[in-house]
Amino acid sequence: MNSVQVRTRCGLCPLWLAAVALWVVSVSSIGAAWAVQPDAANADALTATDVVTLRAVGAAVISPDGQEVAFTLMVPRRPFADDDGAAWMELHLVGAGGESRPFVSGEVNLRAVAWLPDGSALSYLAKRQGDEHRTLYVLPRDGGESRDALEVEAAVAAYAWSPDGKFVAVLAKDPEDKEKKKLAKKGFNQKIFEEDLKPTHLWIYRPFATGDGAEPRRIELEGTASALAWSPRGDQLVVALAPTPLIDDEYMARHLHIVDVESGAVTATVEHSAKLGAVRFSPDGTHLAFIAGEDLNDPSEGRLMVVATARGGKPRQLLPDYQGQVDAIDWLDASRIAYIGSRRTETEIGAVGLDGRREILTPAGVGIWRALSVSRPGSASPYSLALVGESAHHPREVFRLEAGSSQPERLTDNNPRLAEIRFAQQEVVRYQARDGLELDGVLIRPRDAEPGRRYPLILVAHGGPESHFRNGWMTSYSQPGQLAAARGFAVFYPNYRGSTGRGVAFSKSSQGDPAGKEFDDLVDGVDHLVASGLVERSKVGITGGSYGGYASAWGATYYSERFAASVMFVGISDKISKVGTSDIPNELFLVHDRHWPWESWQLMLERSPIYHAKKSRTPLLIMHGEEDTRVHPGQSMELHRVLKTLGKTPVRLVFYPGEGHGNRRSASRLDYNLRMMRWMTQYLQGEGGEPPPTEIDYPRPADDKVDAAAGDEGAGE
């Protein structure tokens, strides 16, 4: 992304970040007390505290006049300095020249930012102090106080403004039953599993109305509603309906319906059964563009579809042979759609007409793009695009692309600390699987690699498997990336078969063969790096979350002779019990396994890591959120108990109270990162042996402690 220009830094960094540059790291002896020692020579490397406090842009929406971009900024809590919790989500504005200003900041958690149709104000959803539920707020563009726009008795899930700004369509559940609340206070709070869920309804509100005028109108639709958009002509709404509020139905059973605003009647239905993504009306209201799966067995919503709003019916693909995945869309005018497409490890920005003619606005290799927003769609004036993008050297920031240019300009710099980091070399690697299939991945070399020397490797397996690694920012609390590279590790992120970004056929290529060729691909990637002379074959670790956690458990059992360490996060160990304890059993069947356990007991058993536990000699660290409904914590408990009983290899299980399918709180993220790195350091760079201490000596800025290295960041596992 070096070709992208940076206009200006937005200057949003608080003073404490400057102090982070003074925190340094070193490795104390393996198995010792993990005391933290300063190391001035390593001050230009990322620390665990850096990683969990990096800021990142979420959504970015350009104003109707194209002059400013509103964006949400994720601001993590600072361990030990702030009360623990999930990151704050702020609202900021940045102009075309890069001048940035906080709009709603501090201890706030907002989402779903939108401009009012005339551009005079911004709206967002938040539950602020004193609110009983999440509601809609409006804040004038020139500043002032946010105003509560609705009188709601239930949390607002989504909203859309009418074109004239006089009405707002809202998705929300019915108000909570007062009698049930009284009974619950008396202890009658039993739950009927998967039967007492309340559907989400579509409502029409008049904003800022009070008294009788505030009474909303509920549009009666069958099912539970999501994916809301209001047509530019003001006479229609599009809404996705699922038969029940179950997450499995939201994934696999939603259909788009076009609703007449005045009568509330469904005038057209889109006949397409697949996963659904973003939905957008054309500027003239005659067409609907949306991202969806190709069919019910497509694991990802990555196809660009279009359908006429007057009749609905079967949509058509605008990019039918696209060997990639469409990640984001917005209309440029009434006949052309801008899109972000992922192709293998890169992304591109393109435009396609209703006639199928395609052009590339920004080619692959310029940046990794995640979201886009178009100003003045349908206007005679030249368009501007707001983009969210990242690179190997920075997380997500705001960019701008003008019509006629192919080079987006960066508008924000929310992590000035990164300018002090000396990054390791990051590159795309292509290799052949044992059956000849060409695969690719992203490799980060050890930062100070010496020619002819071999290094320990951490292989990171992505989840899904309907996702893929892009050649962008590769470091997070659960992915070691540049943090590990600065400490002498190579880090490899392979896109095994079944990954997205290479067309539908490739993403389906692992279905019905769990832990088969897909996980052989991981080992083949390791062999490629060993053959290249970079990696020491006996010093390879594996880690990943969810399906990547499944791969990590497989590497520690079935492929134990190939991995010297494994860190499994919210992963699968038993394919049979997984189906009965997950909230997405139909999704698992339709786009992953293609077998129910009762149809293939032996296959599902043999593709479970616990079946191969007796082979395990790989030290395994297991970590899991106690509230996980996607992959039940019992999956980790099963494997831990079996390996502990066998007693042939070190194993440890760490639970995170209050966390689900991934850690949200800063303290949980810091703890995870430290434990992961300490475990990999001990078994790939150190002497191995018994597991490190259970306690962590956390870096505490208040008493001058700094990140320890071992894994470096001191005390982590």
Task: Provide the CA 678 distance to its chain's centre, in angstroms.
Answer: 25
Length of the chain: 717
| Range of lowest pLDDT (35-44, 155-164, 197-206, 442-451) | 35-44
Q: What is the mean pLDDT of residues 697-715?
A: 50
* The Cα angle at residue 117 between residues 128 and 126, in degrees rounded to 5: 10
pLDDT, average across residues 459-487: 97
Q: At residue 2, does pLDDT exceed 60?
A: no
d(CA 326, CA 363): 14
State residue 143's pLDDT score.
Answer: 83
Q: Could you give the maximum distance between any two Cα atoms of the chain, in Å?
A: 79
Of the candidates 521, 451, 445, the one whose C-alpha atom is nearest the C-alpha of residue 489 is 445
What digits encode the pLDDT tens for the residues 31-44?
322 222 334 456 89
Locate 707 and state its tokens. Answer: 């990140």
Per-residue pLDDT at 24 exceeds 60? no
Share of the chain above pLDDT 90, in %: 84
Task: Give the per-residue pLDDT at 178.
Answer: 85
Please tell me what DSSP assigns to residue 709.
Answer: B
How does residue 8 score in pLDDT terms, banded at 50, 70 and 90? very low
Q: Which of 697, 699, 717 is nearest to 707 (CA)?
A: 699
**pLDDT over threshold 70, residue 709:** no
Under 8 Å between Cβ of 556 and 472? no
pLDDT surpassing 90 at residue 518: yes
Q: Check: CB of residue 568 under 8 Å from CB of residue 588.
A: no
DSSP β-ladder status, 409-410 and 100-104: unpaired
- What pLDDT is attached to residue 380? 60
pLDDT of 22? 28
26 pLDDT more than 90: no
Q: What is the mean pLDDT of residues 282-293?
A: 96
Q: Is the pLDDT of residue 603 over 90?
A: yes
Domain locations in the chain as residue ranges: 424-703
> pLDDT-derived band of residue 66, with 50, 70 and 90 as boundaries?
very high
Confidence band of 552 (pLDDT split at 50, 70, 90): very high
| 119 or 35, higher pLDDT | 119
Pair 553, 631: CB distance under 8 Å: no
78's CB contacts (< 8 A; 6+ apart) are 16, 53, 666
Look at residue 377 in the predicted model and tell me its pLDDT: 55
What pLDDT score was predicted for residue 662? 96
Among the listed residues 250, 222, 225, 218, the one whose alpha carbon sits nearest the alpha carbon of residue 239:
225
At 69-101, the pLDDT tens digits run 999 999 999 999 999 999 999 999 999 888 889
pLDDT value at 556 more than 60: yes
Asked if 592 contacts 579 with a C-beta cutoff of 8 angstroms, the reply is: no
Smallest CA-to-CA distance from 397 within 375, 370, 362 is with 370
**Mean pLDDT comparison of 140-149, 181-190, 584-593, highest-scoring range:** 584-593
Say what the pLDDT of residue 7 is.
Answer: 33
pLDDT of residue 96: 87
Q: Using the Cα atoms of residue 347, residue 353, residue 354 and residue 355 in order, give the sign of their dihedral.
A: negative
Q: End-to-end CA distance of the chain: give it in Å, rounded.
A: 33
User: CB-based contacts of 138: which residues, under 8 Å, 6+ apart?
Assistant: 116, 121, 122, 123, 146, 147, 149, 207, 208
Exposed/middle/buried for 482, CB within 10 Å: 0-12, 13-18, 19+?
A: buried
Model pLDDT for residues 519-534, shown as the tens digit of each residue: 999 999 999 999 999 9
Supply the pTM of this predicted model.
0.90
3-state secondary structure 77-102: CCCCCCCCCECEEEEEEEECCCCEEE
Is 707 a residue whose pLDDT tops 60? no
Mean pLDDT (whole number) for 228-244: 96
CATH class of 424-703: alpha beta
pLDDT tens-digit readout, 573-583? 999 999 999 99
Map 317-386 to HEC letters. ECCCCCCCEEEEEEEEECCEEEEEEEECCEEEEEEEECCCCEEEEECCCCCEEEEEEECCCCCCCCCEEE
Residues 268-296, buried b or exposed e (16+ Cβ, 10 A)? bebebebbbbbbbbbbbbbbbbbbbbbee
> 90 Cβ partners below 8 Å, 6+ apart?
72, 73, 75, 102, 103, 104, 105, 106, 108, 110
**Rg from Cα positions in the chain:** 26
Q: What is the pLDDT of residues 10-19, one digit of tens each?
A: 333 332 223 3
Mean of all residue pLDDT scores within the chain: 90
- Give how far Cα 120 sits from Cα of 68, 204, 233, 273, 387, Å: 12, 21, 20, 39, 22
Rounded (5°) CA angle 130-90-467:
115
SS3 per residue for 269-314: EECCCCCEEEEEECCCCCEEEEEECCCCCCCCCCEEEEEECCCCEC
Provide the pLDDT confidence category of residue 442 given band limits of 50, 70 and 90.
very high
Q: pLDDT tens for residues 373-413?
A: 999 755 667 889 999 999 999 999 999 999 999 999 999 99
Q: Please say whether the beta carbons of 113 and 122 come within 8 A.
A: yes
Q: What pLDDT was estimated at residue 10? A: 35
Rounded to whole angstroms, the Cα distance separating 90 from 74 reads 7
